[in-house]
């Protein structure tokens, strides 16, 4: 790639007139993620793959790289005077940063970290909200997704890419490793409304509720079934990678609630996974729902709350919702 042809992330922030303080926070997140990307590229050689004897807020076994990525982001953001609160998948409670800060930052430092051991794609997801003046530290994160000032993710794949929205449009930047800079490679204005590709963990079939099972069965029935066309299926197992594919070429990403006790309200976390992804998807013309309402209107009631996610190509999302 000849970086001279592309606008740098810094120039994009300037030309889009993003407020200075917000810009500094976003730049710190992106800089931390550039560091995470370097750590990931040499993690096998440095022996950093594998789990540690510790569980995160959701009771999942943490990987060494979950903990390290969390620390890299936390260290960077705690030094930024504009950040008041930090919430992370890897922290049980809100971390208080700068008392005079204006922003509350939530993140999943390493989404899909079970892919690490097989050199598969992983990502970082983040959300920036206005920090509330009053109330508990948690209260700042108990705002509906439509209050987010910025949301984004970094995909650590063959190329490292940043996908970001400030509430008007969704932009894709690609890391130019030699220059250590993210360059604007796409202004993503739309996700196709129709699709013939779905993304779901089929191994959960036996746990699904009947209506959701019927919907998937009709996709599998292909041309001879009620949907009258063949559908393809893709599942990376890292939300960032699966959603990125949906953003690039359309599709529907599905993580429903199911009959298992731990998945009665879904698997994905609202504050730092579903909500930011919903803002990104809606800003390039897609739709993002739980099983009944727009994810952006859901007000969290706990920091690590889980929600079902049905997101992607608008017409397919609504067809799925009709079944439910």
Per CB under 6 A, residues contacting ligand AFP are 60, 111-114, 201, 237-239, 242, 255, 267-268
Judged by CB, which is closer to ligand AFP: 97, or 303?
A: 303
Minimum gap (Å) between residue 113 Cβ and ligand AFP: 4
Judged by CB, which is closer to ligand AFP: 4, or 203?
A: 203
Closest CB to ligand AFP belongs to which residue?
A: 239
* Residues contacting residue 267 through CB under 8 Å, at least 6 positions apart: 255, 306
Residues 88-97 as b/e (b if ≥16 CB within 10 A, e otherwise) read bbbbeebbeb
Judged by CB, which is closer to ligand AFP: 131, or 274?
A: 274
Tokens (6 digits) for 283: 């800003």
Judged by CB, which is closer to ligand AFP: 58, or 293?
A: 58
Judged by CB, which is closer to ligand AFP: 155, or 268?
A: 268
Judged by CB, which is closer to ligand AFP: 268, or 320?
A: 268
C-alpha 104/C-alpha 33 separation (Å) is 18
Minimum gap (Å) between residue 70 Cβ and ligand AFP: 12
C-alpha 315/C-alpha 262 separation (Å) is 30
Helices then strands (H, E): number in the chain? Answer: 7, 17
10 Å CB burial of residue 320 (0-12, 13-18, 19+) is buried
Minimum gap (Å) between residue 36 Cβ and ligand AFP: 14
Query: Contact at 8 Å (CB) between 221 and 227?
Result: yes
Query: Contact at 8 Å (CB) between 192 and 198?
Result: no
Judged by CB, which is closer to ligand AFP: 196, or 201?
A: 201
C-alpha 184/C-alpha 179 separation (Å) is 14
C-alpha 149/C-alpha 26 separation (Å) is 11
What single DSSP character describes residue 299? P
Minimum gap (Å) between residue 309 Cβ and ligand AFP: 8
89, containing H or E segment = none
Query: Contact at 8 Å (CB) between 250 and 215?
Result: no
Residue-level length of the chain: 324
Minimum gap (Å) between residue 210 Cβ and ligand AFP: 20
Secondary structure (3-state) at 184: strand
Tokens (6 digits) for 105: 């930052």
Judged by CB, which is closer to ligand AFP: 13, or 73?
A: 73
Judged by CB, which is closer to ligand AFP: 13, or 238?
A: 238
What single DSSP character describes residue 192? -
């Amino acid at each position: 790639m000849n970086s001279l042809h592309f606008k740098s992330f810094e120039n994009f922030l300037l030309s889009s007139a993003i407020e200075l303080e917000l810009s500094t926070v976003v730049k710190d997140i992106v800089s931390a993620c550039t560091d995470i990307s370097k750590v990931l590229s040499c993690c096998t050689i440095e022996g950093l793959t594998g789990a540690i004897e510790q569980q995160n807020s959701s009771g999942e076994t943490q990987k060494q790289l979950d903990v390290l990525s969390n620390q890299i982001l936390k260290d960077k953001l705690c030094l930024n005077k504009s950040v008041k609160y930090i919430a992370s998948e890897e922290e049980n409670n809100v971390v208080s940063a700068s008392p005079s800060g204006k922003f509350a930052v939530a993140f999943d430092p390493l989404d899909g970290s079970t892919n690490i051991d097989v050199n598969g794609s992983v990502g970082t997801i983040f959300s920036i909200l206005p920090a509330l003046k009053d109330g508990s530290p948690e209260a700042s994160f108990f705002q509906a997704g439509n209050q987010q000032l910025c949301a984004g993710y970094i995909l650590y794949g063959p190329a490292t890419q940043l996908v970001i929205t400030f509430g008007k449009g969704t932009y894709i930047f690609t890391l130019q490793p030699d220059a250590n800079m993210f360059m604007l490679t796409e202004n993503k204005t739309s996700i196709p409304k129709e699709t013939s590709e779905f993304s779901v963990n089929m191994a959960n079939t036996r746990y699904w509720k009947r209506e959701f099972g019927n919907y998937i069965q009709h996709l599998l029935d292909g041309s001879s079934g009620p949907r009258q066309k063949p559908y393809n299926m893709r599942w990376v197992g890292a939300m960032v990678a699966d959603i990125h594919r949906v953003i690039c070429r359309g599709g529907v990403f599905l993580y429903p609630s199911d009959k298992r006790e731990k998945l009665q309200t879904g698997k994905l976390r609202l504050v730092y996974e579903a909500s930011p992804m919903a803002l990104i998807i809606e800003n390039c013309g897609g739709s993002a729902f739980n099983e009944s309402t727009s994810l952006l209107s859901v007000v969290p009631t706990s920091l690590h709350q889980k929600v079902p996610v049905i997101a992607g190509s608008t017409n397919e999302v609504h067809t799925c919702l009709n079944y439910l």
